[in-house]
Structure 1
Amino acid sequence: MTAPSALTRAILALGSNLGEREGTLASAVADLVDRPEVRLQNVSPVVTTKAVGGPEGQPDFLNMVIAVDTTLSPRELLAHCQAVELAHHRTREVRWGARTLDVDIVTYGDERSDDPVLTLPHPRAAVRAFVLYPWSLMEPNATLAGESVAALAAKAPDMEGIVHVLDVPPAVVP
Structure 2
Amino acid sequence: MHAVPEVPCVRAYVALGANLGDAQAAVGRALADLGGLPRTRLVARSSLYRSAPVDAGGPDFVNAVAALDTQLSPLDLLDELQRLELEAGRERPYRNAPRTLDLDLLLHGDARIAEPRLVVPHPRMHERAFVLLPLAEIAPERVDAAQLAAVAGQAIQRL
Give the TM-score taking structure 1 as reference length. Answer: 0.84
Residue 94 of structure 1: aligned partner? 94
The answer to whether the 8 A contact 1:28-1:84 is kept is yes
Give the TM-score taking structure 2 as reference length. Answer: 0.91
Matches within 5 A, 1:103-122: 103-122=103-122
Q: Which one has a bigger Cα radius of gyration?
A: 2
Distance 1:109 1:140 in 2: 15
Q: Secondary structure of 1:137's partner?
A: helix
1:30 aligns with 2:25: no
Residue 152 of structure 1: aligned partner? 147
Distance 1:53 1:125 in 2: 14
Distance 1:35 1:91 in 2: 21
Q: How many residues align?
A: 154
Q: Secondary structure of 1:26's partner?
A: helix
Distance 2:125 2:28 in 1: 22
Residue 171 of structure 1: aligned partner? none
Residue 41 of structure 2: aligned partner? 39
Distance 1:31 1:129 in 2: 24
CA RMSD, 1 decimal: 1.5
1:164 aligns with 2:155: no
The answer to whether the 8 A contact 2:11-2:108 is kept is yes
Distance 1:104 1:160 in 2: 19
Deviation (angstroms), 1:26: 1.1
Segments of 5+ residues of structure 2 without an aligned counterpart are: 1-5
Distance 1:140 1:35 in 2: 25
**Deviations 1:81-116 (CA, angstroms, capped at 9, x unpaired):** 000000100001111110000000000000001112
Segments of 5+ residues of structure 1 without an aligned counterpart are: 166-174
Identity of aligned residues (%): 40
Residue 20 of structure 1: aligned partner? 22
Deviation (angstroms), 1:141: 2.4
The answer to whether the 8 A contact 1:127-1:153 is kept is no
